Homo-oligomer: A and B are copies of this chain.
Amino acid sequence: MKNMSVKKKRNGPIMFPKATLERLKMYHALLQEEKSEYISSEEIARKLSIKPEQVRKDISYLDYSGKPKVGYHISSLVDALDELFGTKLRDNIIIIGAGHLGKALANYKGFVNFGIRVVAIFDNDPEKLGTYAGELVVLPLKDLDRVIRRFNVKIGTICVPGESAQKTVDLLIKKGIKAIWNFAPVILEVPENILVENMDIARSVLTLKHLLDRTPTGKIR
């Protein structure tokens, strides 16, 4: 009750609930598309099929306030979200695995919007070595060390097959990588100071299959 507006101050890292972070990413996606100057919690909520109170609560975690009677000033709110996610700071990342997915990621033009730059792509398959993925030549893993140091790479992207994912990760960690962006369809074991974000792309379709079987819409199988 005392000191009620200080909740959002940075005294010790605030922990965002996982679900809140996910929603904040959705607001970020939504607002980047918006053309108008202001938007209300109600409109955001409607577009995301959630409740306006939820939106206001989520935004209250940020270092940003809306205006009564008007709503949220979109570009300022986007700035606050950019701050939260660090999209204005650039991180150099590397991709391991120059298969279809690795190359697709290497070719993706949108990373710049998230403060990401792909500085190298690696593979040990002789067939792939020296071929191009976008602007980048596929390098052998023996160059890892050099690249990680030269570009101060913290994030490693795993696009190798499941079978080789764990040993690739072990290697990356040995070389100093701090965070793993994992596209392989396996669970990785890492030391607790290493971050892992799993992006098991294909498996994500199971949510749809599950729901299709259980909602009136999909019931007609």
Binding site for B on A (CB under 8 A): 13, 16, 18-19, 21, 25-26, 28-30, 33, 47-49, 84-87, 89, 91, 93, 99-101, 103-105, 107-108, 110-111, 113-116, 154-155, 162, 178-179, 181, 185-187, 189, 192-195, 197-218, 221
> In this complex, what residue of B is CB-closest to A192?
B49
B197 touches A205 (CB 8 A): yes
| B210-A84 in contact (CB<8A) | yes
Contact with A187, one of B33, B114, B200, B204 (Cβ below 8 angstroms): B33
Q: With A28-B203, A30-B186 given, can you name 5 additional A-B contacts, CB distance below 8 Å?
A: A29-B200, A33-B162, A33-B186, A111-B202, A179-B217
Cα distance A200–B99 in the bound complex, in angstroms: 20
- Contact (Cβ within 8 A) A199 B193: no
Q: Which residues of B contact A201 (CB under 8 A)?
A: 105, 199, 201
* Residues of chain B contacted by A89 (CB below 8 angstroms): 209, 213, 221
Top 3 A-B pairs ranked by shortest CB distance?
Answer: A100-B104, A85-B206, A104-B104
Which residues of B lie under 8 Å from residue A114 when comparing CB positions?
202-203, 205-206, 209
